[in-house]
Homo-oligomer: A and B are copies of this chain.
Amino acid sequence: MAMMLDQGQWQHVDGGVTAARGFRAAGIHCGIKADRKDLALIVSDTLASAAGMFTTNLVKAAPVVLSQERIQSGAAQAIVVNSGNANACTGAQGWADAQEMAALTAQALGVAEEFVLVASTGVIGVPLSMPALRAGIPRLPEALSRDGAAAAEAILTTDAFPKTSAVRFRLDGTTVTIGGMAKGAGMIHPNMATTLAFLTTDAALPAPLLRRALRQAVDRSFNAISVDGDTSTNDTVFLLANGQAGGAPMVEEDDALARFTEALTVVTTDLARMVVRDGEGATKLITVMVRGAQTPADARRVMSAVMTSPLVKTALYGGEPNWGRILAAAGRAGAALVPERVEIWIAGVPVVRGGQGLPGALPRAAEAMAQAEYELLLDLRLGSGEATGWTCDLNESYVKINAGYMT
């Protein structure tokens, strides 16, 4: 049923990865993990346009290599995902296992193997439990439904909560939906098509336009978050577009694509922020805004240095307005910077002007830092370069989670 939204407007809807028409999903427990869901499937009723972004790490898991190859066709119909094991650094066996996961899924669904994508997340260097997958994958089709909740749960590892988002909007006379789900927690860092994210839409876009929209949306969301500066062997974002909304397919880079990209960015930013909020041990979600940089690239450098500084991140945890650490991180970012020009706001409180602390600002800033979410704003006052990203605090829980991951 078409909704009456104004052009260019959107609203959040429920349903996550199955909010768009013609998508179903399943999430079950097959035995890779001891007792939690560990196997998910996303299926489009019809063959869909497909785009993907993958880890830039040279050490790539087998499912990443396989999916990267397959998605070059620009078409896919199903995505099978396991959690609990990354199938990374598993050599020839891992490669065979990723292919078998896809083949079993293709067989269970009756779709061509080349249209099945694969993703894995979990422990590195341990062979997949193929008996569990061989028993589990054939059970997936019967578990498929228009409710994506079980799938959103089955892709999690150390996450504290499932991450889903969806928006609906009007696009050239058609009501279109974009939805998705993600998993995150550790190893979150820019330039990684970070973590696992699965996006679906019933809009009709050819693969080249889909790729363009995905790259822009990911650059402004998943590539602008950092939990710990590490990057994974498995990071993957998929976007499937099945055209079930019924509109005419987009054919060129026009206003409609821009509006689609904008709505897609709403979904990816929602998911990316949830990933940071659920950063391992995180108690704070901090938006880092840099403006006044000489170039956008410089703004991004400063944003990244501030977002990843352990000294800044521990100060965020401690609730201390230690602007010296923020300024020092900016100063080593490799960006043009004149300390005497820099202005810094913490949670809306101006703390630095002309590169120096403002008298009396610290108590007010410390008070504002008690909030669970706030903004660090740096104005370099050199140009018009801007960047926005999201980070979290670093605390004892991060250490505990990661010091005892294998045991």
Contact = CB atoms under 8 A, between A and B. Distances in A.
Interface in A348-407: 352, 354-357, 394-396, 398-400, 402-407
Interface string A73-92: 00000000000001011110
A57 interface: yes
Most buried by B among A124, A328, A330, A338: A328
Contact of A311 (B186, B320, B331, B332): B186
A366 to B, nearest CB: 9
Contact of A332 (B56, B90, B328): B56
Interface string A308-327: 11110011011010111101
Contact of A124 (B124, B233, B324, B340): B324
A337 to B, nearest CB: 5
A91 B354 contact: yes
Main SS of the interface on chain A? loop
A143 interface: no
A394 B402 CA distance: 10
A308 B406 contact: no
A232 interface: yes
Contacts of A96: none
A58 interface: yes
Contacts of A309: 229-230
Given A315-B402, A405-B315, A229 B310 contact: yes
Contacts of A318: 402-407
B324 A233 contact: yes
A231 interface: yes
Q: How many copies of this kind of chain does the complex include?
A: 2
B324 A399 contact: no
Contacts of A60: 331, 339
A228 interface: yes
A50 to B, nearest CB: 25
Contacts of A355: 59, 89, 91
Contacts of A320: 403-407
A89 B340 CA distance: 9
A246 interface: no
A231 B310 CA distance: 11
A329 interface: yes
A160 interface: no
Interface string A46-81: 000000000011111000000000000000000000
A58 B301 CA distance: 14
Nearest to A309: B230
11 contacts: A58-B339, A60-B339, A90-B356, A91-B340, A124-B324, A124-B327, A229-B310, A231-B328, A318-B407, A320-B407, A396-B400
Interface of A: 56-60, 86, 88-91, 123-126, 186-187, 228-233, 308-311, 314-315, 317-318, 320, 322-325, 327-332, 337-340, 352, 354-357, 394-396, 398-400, 402-407
Given A89-B356, A320-B405, 12 more contacts: A58-B332, A89-B324, A89-B327, A186-B311, A230-B311, A230-B325, A310-B398, A314-B398, A318-B403, A322-B405, A396-B396, A396-B400
* Top 8 closest pairs, chain A to chain B, by CB: A124-B324, A318-B403, A59-B331, A314-B402, A57-B331, A396-B396, A58-B331, A125-B357
